[in-house]
Amino acid sequence: MSDGRLVLYADGASRGNPGPAGAGAVLFDEKGVVVAELTRALGRATNNVAEYSGLILGLEEAKRRGATAVDVRMDSKLVVEQMRGLWRIKHPGLRPLALRAGALLASFPERTIQHVPREENAHADMLSNRAIDESDWGALPPNPRSTRGE
């Protein structure tokens, strides 16, 4: 990392909402080389919790690697707009995650966060689904009665 800048693609997945969930993130250096692939099984969670968890997972790794600048790209419009301060965080369950993600993001002297189409986030999506597949939760069916999201 010559200038301390990393590009972070982050995503979360939930099979059911809530349901078995996972977070994924991939970090690229300034040359477009993958420097880290990250997965985390989350147990039972909503899609929005999984999305925030993917962001936190990637930001923590970027920090651990000594990045001073991070360019975040996510396909979750909700997370991106909440992190930009343009959308309110209505669900109380998301507040702690949003505060943690916001503090991590703010700790980088240079930072951007932008919404990208789902197809541009395929790598992180694959990692978030891998987290579910490799966990004990991946074998469980989603809760068919739950329709409430966050």
The CATH number of the structural domain formed by 5-139 is: 3.30.420.10
Domain ranges for the chain = 5-139
Distance CA 39, CA 22 (A): 7
User: What's the pLDDT tens digit per position in 41-54?
Assistant: 999 999 999 999 99
3-state SS assignment for residue 35: strand
Residue pair 109/148 in contact (Cβ under 8 Å)? The answer is no
Q: What is the pTM of this model?
A: 0.90
The token pair that represents 29 in the structure block: 């250096």
Residues 72-103 have pLDDT tens digits of: 999 999 999 999 999 999 999 999 999 999 99
Distance, in Å, from the CA atom of 19 to the CA atom of 10, rounded to the nearest integer, reads: 19
